[in-house]
């Protein structure tokens, strides 16, 4: 795993997308890749939901209008104003949207994304 992490670094950090690719390749839970990266002193970058890892900036900004189907999915899967990372990914897959589109819609609806699958938040 260490070798794969090192091979996939970008500017000394491991992008979220590459951490997931390593997890798939090794058939381990994504959090295990993040834990190994932590042990190696390597940070995760470029969250696919746009929440962290972009030079101190968040890519997520509210959208003017959330499509009704997307709003329904987000509200249906959120609890107490929170939507898990895994559920956000599932919604993106189901509606054929980017993860960032789901994240921006959640932000617009005042719903916070929680429980990063890598364990970063």
- Output the six-digit token pair for 82: 């929170």
Q: Do 37 and 74 share a domain, yes or no?
A: no
- Whole-number Cα distances in Å, 11 to 14, 52, 55, 58, 65: 8, 15, 11, 18, 35
> Is residue 91, in this structure, part of any structural domain at all?
yes
Q: Do 78 and 109 share a domain, yes or no?
A: yes
Q: Looking at residue 59, what is its pLDDT?
A: 85
Domain count along the chain = 2
> Is residue 26, in this structure, part of any structural domain at all?
yes
Q: Looking at residue 78, what is its pLDDT?
A: 98
Q: What is the pTM of this model?
A: 0.91
Domain of 33? 2-45
Chunked mean pLDDT (size 10), the chain, 121 residues: 98 98 98 98 97 87 94 98 98 98 97 98 92
Distance from C-alpha of 116 to C-alpha of 106, rounded to nearest angstrom: 15
> Is residue 40, in this structure, part of any structural domain at all?
yes
The answer to whether residues 85 and 114 touch, using CB atoms and an 8 Å cutoff, is yes
């Amino acid at each position: 795993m260490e070798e794969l992490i090192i091979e996939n670094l970008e500017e000394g950090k491991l992008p979220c997308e590459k951490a997931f690719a390593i997890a798939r390749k090794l058939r381990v839970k994504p959090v295990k890749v993040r834990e190994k990266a932590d042990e190696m002193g390597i940070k995760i970058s470029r969250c696919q939901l746009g929440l962290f890892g972009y030079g101190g900036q968040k890519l997520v900004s509210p959208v003017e209008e959330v499509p009704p189907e997307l709003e329904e999915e987000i509200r249906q899967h959120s609890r107490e104003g929170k939507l898990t990372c895994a559920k956000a990914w599932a919604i993106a897959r189901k509606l054929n949207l980017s993860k960032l589109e789901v994240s921006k819609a959640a932000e617009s609806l005042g719903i916070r994304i929680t429980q990063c699958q890598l364990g970063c938040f």
